[in-house]
Structure 1
Amino acid sequence: MIDQNTVDRIVETSQANIVDVVSEFVTLRKRGINYLGNCPFHNEKTPSFTVSPHKGIYKCFGCGKGGNAVNFVMDVEQISFIDAIKQLGKKFHIHIEEVELSPEQQQVKNDRESMMAVSGFAQKFFTNQLLKSDEGRSVGLSYLRSRGFRDDIIQKFELGYSPEAKTALTDEALKNSYKLEFLEKAGLTIVRDNYKADRFRGRVIFPIHSISGKPTAFGGRVLKTDKKTAKYLNSPESEIYHKSRILYGIFHAKTEITKKDRCFLVEGYTDVISFHQAGITNVVASSGTALTVDQIRLIARFTPNITIIYDGDPAGIKASLRGIDLVLEQGMNVKVLLLPEGEDPDSFSKSRSAEELQAYITKHEGDFIKFKTGLLLKDAENDPVKRAGLLQDIVKTISVIPDAIVRGEYVKECSALMNVTEQVLYNEIAKLTKKSREEKYRGNTPSIQVPQVPSSPTASPAFTTLNLFEEEEKELIRFMIKYGDIQMVEVEEGKEEEEEEITVGDYILEQLREDELECENPLYNKILKLYEENKKKKGFQAVKFFVSHMEQDVSRLATDLLSKEYPLSKIHQRFGAGDLDEASILDRLVPKVVNELKLKKVKALIDKYRNELKLAEQKEDGEKMIEIMQTMVRLQQLQSLLSKELGDRTIV
């Protein structure tokens, strides 16, 4: 484990020398105080990639990539944070100090390393058996060649074969001093009382590599035709393998996904391998499991664009439509390709060159609305009830899209396809949004203070579609990151001659905590917590701290908010800031944004209780009605006070 002081020193040094770090990969030229070049993360002819040595950040205004020097090395080299730190430490001749782990931490580390070691041994054993043993060549290699796989592709994916012998792998591993305990933990050996056996015996082996290329699990295909035996068998979950967090082929595909700015998603191992053999390498598979949020976010690290390729099985496609909704919820741009009936990605790619396959995909891939509508309309036919159900299904899918402009385009398309007016669709989306919002707020009793409108327990960055307060929250967090440690002057009410010095960060925290407020966006809450935990540390500077933070979501947010020197135009214009330097009027701007946020939250609660009052009236619950009306009076008084603070404005 690397000593934190060493990490901080490497991060600080790389920030100060970010131009040197980036220049190893990008040709930069000076423009004013910044440097400009062509982005290494997407193809562009006009440079939009900017490096700011003053801020220690990079930002591409074409594809949106940005971060600090460590983020850059992680992205361009496709390596982990620790590996990036080690690489930068070597570059700047900084000795890496290792911290002594506790006995428990050391045990966990040793176990993981032992499992990784035994998995690496198993992969080499399986591959060696496939290529060099008589059984492996006659059974396993013959099968793979009969499927049309070339030897270079077999070696690229490190395919293998597990012999029929009951404990062939286990015996060889034990002979080489690997422990049975870790063979079992890694899912390679089944152990029960005095019984032990190789899990994958008699199967062709597909190693599942981590994002860094290390084998962490295996898939095995049986070659015998036995109805009682599962065709495919996968490693069980373990300390080093979580199937919901990894995609088959991600190690081999990640560089090309970044370069092409698109990822093709298929279903199985052989689909991925066949695409590679055809010359298309930006492809991964969910390995037969339902697509998960973690897998989608893994793709999102390299591109926001994904094409899901389905074979011609309608039943299988309908079962996997939920995956499209998940992709959309994560803010991804998704297209769908349906292959001809009877074809799957494996068979289809084998009969075409890379150019022919790419041309077919480009011509036939389409957006999910046309795909989903076309698929489900066959069942609805002329049944108005089924058509209504289909419409509600599609509207529900559209409503999860975070970007309002993209959402609007899909509404237009759905309107044309379903012969329904756009207003009807927008009304349905509004109902769904309102229902979700009410479910979030349900059960919260306000006090005479600004009542808390807590975030959803399942909130995520993609949940901002329902965040009514995003504009104000984002601006407060920008102030926190950019000016958190800067002193602002707070004039006490009625005592204009007495002033109390307080930092911007402390003021924001104090105001939010005073009224038990939280941000809807969980990442913003993380920023607030990090500030509170670190503000008293010696030499703390908010900008430096957040931009160089080791957690990528934190440093990237800081970079995005600092990458352009801009005011949040609508808010600043409301408050009459004009073209003034915002740093000189923080004592006006920060309180205004805080009160704007409070006012919006109060108004949301008033709307909520207005609806609850209607329900109470319908149920003729007099006691509940009085309770709600008393609460609404307090909230309306508070709304009036906040509106006066903001210049007698009310928010529409």
Structure 2
Amino acid sequence: MIDHATIDRIIDAAEISDVVGDFVTLRKRGVNMLGLCPFHNEKTPSFTVSPAKGIFKCFGCGKGGNSVNFIMEHENLTYPEALKWLAKKYNIEVREEEETEEQKQLKDSRESLMIVSGFAQKYFTRYLWEENEGRTIGLGYFRERSFRDDILKKFEVGFAPDGKTPFTEAAQKQGYKLDFLEKTGLTIKRDDWLRDRFAGRVMFPIHNLAGRVIAFGGRILKDDKKTAKYLNSPESDIYHKSRVLYGIYQAKREMTRTDKCYLVEGYTDVMSLHQVGIENVVASSGTSLTPDQIRMVRRFTPNITIIYDGDAAGIKASLRGIDLVLEEGMNVKVLPLPDGEDPDSFAKKMGASGFQEYMEQNETDFIQFKTRLLLKSTENDPVAKARLISDVIRSVSVIPDSITRSVYIKECSRLLGVSEEVLYTEVRKQKHKQTEEFRKREFREQNRRQTAPPQPVQEEPVVRPVKLLVEELEFLRFLLKYCKADLWEEEDEETHETQILSVGEFMIDELEADELVSENPLFKKLFYEVRENLYKENFDPWKHFVFNADTAISKFATDLLSEKYTESKIWEKGGAFKEKEEDILDILVPKLVNEYKFQKVREMQDSIQNEINMAHKNKDDEQLMELLNTMSNLNRIKRELLEKLGNRAVN
């Protein structure tokens, strides 16, 4: 582990414009610098670097952070790897702290699994090219399917020798422990019985983003109905199939360059598309598409085209995947192949130019694809058409961006011959249904956690940004930006001495005194970390969060503090101001705190009202009186807050 002192030296040395300038041509624009974003294709520069704040932000694709985040994103490195990259650039010696025994064991175990998997890949690849069985059976299979040697070597395919334990014996002779061979799934052990998992199969290594082998897929070449055609490595400490995409290592740079990703189903589909020159392609490896896999694609591009087989099963699979992709805020298209074709066979049949031309002519927007597909089955059946409309609108309703959603509603209205008003009503119904389902899941999960036996204390999980109210966002922005700024003088009631109250002290005291700290995990993390460090002399909340090791926290803080951050409309409702924020903190901060409190009181009232309705339904008079009394107190607090806010309602 890199010690904190070294991390601070690296961060201090890594001047943001210098780091970004190695990859992006930057031009001076006021106090900031501007250039073309390296993470998505753009003609008008929207990529901004702030040397004063030490951050970058693209207002086109949304990526942002500090110099470490930039190197992580651009070079596809982990946090420690990015720190070492920057340390090398600035000739800083990296000193690493001694790890705990538990950390060392976990790291050693994972590394051992990686090393064993790497050995297995080299063994299988060598066996394919150099051994008679590998050349005859394995290489013969790939030759029969017209794969070129350069493609086979690019994906490091191989062949596992047939027999009981030839691979296991070879690995043990090289000093690899049976325990790690078993944990990777390369060897199956039952008491004293051993067996090579992939015996007699052609092997497709699965790489992580850094290019290291973490698992395998194996295809049997014998005609045996009792044996699975494809066999994958089991889950392990280094391999979780729901978080992995086959070909992501070979595709990531081209995905970034073209700002697009093609999604197929199998290993040979990916290889065949590479062979015809389409390299921005990945596969779900025969499993159902998962949110983690979609988020992995989104790291490189928001645009995805799903290519599935032209049979009924392939089309059904594409429909299942569409809603998941939309829910993650991505732009999705579908490329339907002719009936009976898959990407592998069709790419070989059409060749490079033919397949490219087919893609350009047949790539379809998901709404048109889904609507035309489902319309075929409705014909003149009004009930079936109503189901179709609900099905299509259910897909539209999961799109998180309201503008994109409205564009699709217009398109649906045109294709289906239904008024936009009717479709908007259906979207609202679907979103309400989704919200209710989410609340039920949360309630069940909360009950499960409460009834579950206590677990040993573990390292605090990484907090991911989740949606916050505008008042919560404004509260956090002021807390991070003006935490140590002077707010006003006040007299101590006991000593009568005058002391200066800071913005941070006032904001934190106000929320804790009224027990109104938001339950949002992101809000709580930032709020309590500021409180714990408030009186430390060198504490800089800006630097603390912008340069946080958790890249999600760092990006959130960057977005919050970016120059183009739009102030909440709550200020405009109370009358616009022209003064700089820092000049009128004594006016803005109390107003902000009261706005925040007002929204929290409204949330509490909504919750209490639901309890009142339930108590009334259950004829629980005692609880009903208690709840009505609570509601009365909340109404009183609400009136007081409205008075402070100028007797105006806040939407």
Work out the CA distance in 1 between the residues paired with 2:136 and 2:11: 54
User: What's 1:12 paired with?
Assistant: 12
What is the TM-score normalised by the length of structure 2? 0.89
Q: Name the residue aligned to 2:454.
A: none
Alpha carbons of 1:367 and 1:608: their partners in 2 closer, same or farther (altered >3 Å)? Answer: farther
Give the letter aligned to residue 149 of structure 2: D
Partner of 2:469: 470
Are the aligned partners of 1:330 and 1:462 in contact in 2 as well (CA < 8 Å)? no
More divergent stretch after superposition (582-591 vs 608-617): 608-617
RMSD: 3.0
Q: Give yes or no for the alignment of 1:562 onto 2:561.
A: yes
Q: Which residue of 1 aligns with 2:541?
A: 542
Aligned to 1:96: 94
Report if aligned partners of 2:252, 2:280 keep a CA contact under 8 Å in 1. yes
Q: State the AA in 2 paired with 1:12.
A: D
CA–CA distance in structure 2, aligned partners of residues 209 and 480 of structure 1 = 43
Greater displacement, 22-31 / 65-74: 22-31
| CA 404–54 in structure 1, closer or farther in 2 if over 3 Å, else same | same
Q: Partner residue of 2:591?
A: 592
One-letter amino acid matched to 2:633: R
CA shift in 2, pair 1:409/1:613, >3 Å: farther
Q: Which residue matches 2:294?
A: 296
Taking the aligned partners of 2:358 and 2:529, their CA distance within structure 1 comes to: 49
Per-residue CA distance 1:224-258 (angstroms, 9 max, x = gap): 11110000000000111111111111111111111
Would the aligned equivalents of 2:10 and 2:83 in 1 still touch at CA under 8 Å? yes
CA distance in 1, matches of 2:492, 2:421: 48
Q: In 2, Cα distance between the equivalents of 1:377 and 1:520? A: 46
Aligned pair 1:633/2:627, yes or no?
no
Mapped partners of 2:622, 2:417: distance in 1: 47
Change (3 A) 1:32 1:349: same
Match of 1:391 in 2: 389
Letter in 1 for 2:561: L
Which residue is equivalent to 1:142? 140
Q: Which moved more, 1:300-309 or 1:42-51?
A: 42-51
1:238 equivalent to 2:236? Answer: yes
| 1:349 partnered with 2:347 | yes
Q: What code does the residue aligned with 2:334 have?
A: V
AA aligned to 1:396 is: R
Give, in whole Å, the separation in 1 of the partners of 2:551 and 2:634: 39
* 1:118-156 Cα deviation digits (max 9, x unpaired): 111000000000111111011001101111211000000
Between the aligned residues of both structures, percent identity stands at 56
Secondary structure of 1:308's aligned partner: strand
Q: Which moved more, 1:276-285 or 1:122-131?
A: 276-285
SS class of match (1:546) = helix
Alignment match, 1:252: 250
Give the CA deviation at 1:651. Answer: 2.6
Contact 1:12-1:548 at 8 Å conserved across structures: no
- Cα deviation, residue 621, structure 1: 7.2
| CA contact 2:127–2:158 (8 Å) conserved in 1 | yes
Alignment partner of 1:225 is 2:223:
yes
SS class of match (1:352): helix
Query: Take 2:151 and 2:214, find their aligned partners in 1: how far apart are those partners?
Result: 20
Provide the residue aligned with 1:62 in structure 2. Answer: 60
Partners in 2 of 1:608 and 1:197 — Cα distance?
A: 59
Q: Number of residue pairs matched?
A: 631
Tell me if structure 2 keeps the 8 A contact 1:438–1:608: no
**How many Å apart are 1:586 and its aligned residue?**
2.2
Q: Secondary structure in 2 aligned to 1:50? A: strand
Taking structure 1 as reference, are residues 435 and 612 closer, same or farther at Cα in structure 2, changes over 3 Å only? farther
Partner residue of 1:129?
127
- How many angstroms apart in 1 are the aligned matches of 2:236 and 2:265? 22
| 1:456 corresponding residue in structure 2 | none
Q: Classify 1:232/1:533 alpha carbon distance in 2 versus 1 (closer, same or farther; 3 Å).
A: farther
Matches within 5 A, 1:28-47: 28-47=26-45
Match of 2:549, as an amino acid? M
Query: Mean alpha-carbon deviation: is it higher for 96-105 or for 37-46?
Result: 37-46
Q: Which residue of 2 aligns with 1:487?
A: 486
Within the candidate set 368, 372, 375, 1:374 is matched to: 372
Q: After the TM superposition, which of the residue ranges 259-268 and 381-390 deviates more from structure 2? A: 381-390
Contact 1:489–1:499 under 8 Å retained in 2: no
Q: CA deviation at 1:193?
A: 1.3
Aligned in 2, Cα 1:313/1:502: closer, same or farther, shift over 3 Å? farther
Partner of residue 449, structure 1: none
| CA distances 1:351-406 after superposition (whole Å, capped 9, x unpaired) | 33545434433332233222233333444444444443433333333222221101
Counterpart of 1:585, as a letter, is: I
SS state at 1:288 partner: coil
Q: Deviations over 1:429-485 (max 9, x none)?
A: 3334445556777999xxxxxxxxxxxxxx997964xxxx63222222222332233
Structure 2: distance between partners of 1:359 and 1:509: 61
Establish whether residue 309 from structure 1 lines up as the match of residue 307 from structure 2: yes
Q: Partners of 1:582 and 1:561 in 2: how far apart?
A: 15
Q: Aligned-pair distance for 1:516?
A: 4.1
User: 1:307: how far off?
Assistant: 1.5
1:494-519 CA distance string (max 9 Å, x none) = 9xx99864443444444444444455
In structure 1, give the amino acid aligned to 2:36: N
Counterparts of 2:485 and 2:190, CA distance in 1? 64
2:571 maps to what in 1? 572
Question: What SS class does the counterpart of residue 351 from structure 1 fall into?
Answer: helix
Distance 1:574 1:405 in 2: 24
SS of 1:264's partner is strand
Aligned partner of residue 489 in structure 1, secondary structure: strand
Equivalent-residue separation in structure 2 for 1:181 and 1:514 (angstroms): 56
**Offset at 1:424?**
2.4
Give the distance between the partners of 1:247 and 1:551, measured in 2 at CA. Answer: 23
Q: TM-score, normalised by structure 1?
A: 0.89
Q: 2:604, 2:364 → 1: CA distance? A: 41
Contact 1:402 1:463 in 2 (8 A): no
Bigger CA drift: 229-238 or 568-577?
A: 568-577
The aligned counterpart of 2:322 is 324
The 1:260/1:513 distance shift into structure 2, 3 A limit, reads farther
Q: Sort the Cα spacing of 1:151 and 1:98 in 2 relative to 1 into closer, same or farther, 3 A.
A: same
- Report what 2:401 is aligned to: 403
CA distance in 2, matches of 1:338, 1:154: 27
Within a 5 Å distance, the mapping from 1:633-652 to structure 2 comes to 633-652=632-651
Contact (CA 8 Å) 1:337, 1:364: kept in 2 or not?
yes
| 1:584, distance to aligned residue in structure 2 (A) | 1.8
Cα distance, 1:20–1:340 mapped onto 2, change above 3 Å: same
1:528 is aligned with what amino acid? F
Structure 1 gaps of 5+ residues are 445-458
Cα gap change, 1:172 to 1:334, in 2 (>3 Å): same
- Consecutive unaligned residues of structure 2, counting only runs of 5 or more, are 444-461
After superposition, the Cα gap between the structure-2 partners of 1:279 and 1:32, relative to the gap in structure 1 and judged at 3 Å, is same
Preserved contact between residue 308 and residue 318 of structure 2 (Cα < 8 Å): no
Relative distance call for 1:441 and 1:115 in structure 2 (3 A) is closer
Q: Cα distance, 1:345 vs. partner?
A: 1.4
Give the counterpart letter for 2:551 in structure 1: Q
Q: By how many angstroms is 1:616 displaced?
A: 6.9
User: C-alpha distance in 1, partners of 2:502/2:334?
Assistant: 51
Kept after mapping to 1: 8 A contact 2:559/2:565: no
- The range that moved more, 581-590 or 36-45, is 36-45
2:52 match: secondary structure: coil
Contact 2:306 2:318 in 1 (8 A): no
Query: Aligned partners of 1:161, 1:441: CA distance in 2, in Å?
Result: 49
Secondary structure at the counterpart of residue 350 of structure 2: coil
Change over 3 Å in CA distance of 1:386–1:640 after alignment to 2: farther
Tell me if structure 2 keeps the 8 A contact 1:35–1:50. yes
Distance 1:490 1:348 in 2: 76
Letter in 2 for 1:234: N
Quick check: 538-547 or 347-356, which moved more? Answer: 347-356
Aligned to 2:450: none
What residue is the counterpart of 1:277 in the other structure? 275
Cα distance between partner residues in 2 of 1:499 and 1:401: 55
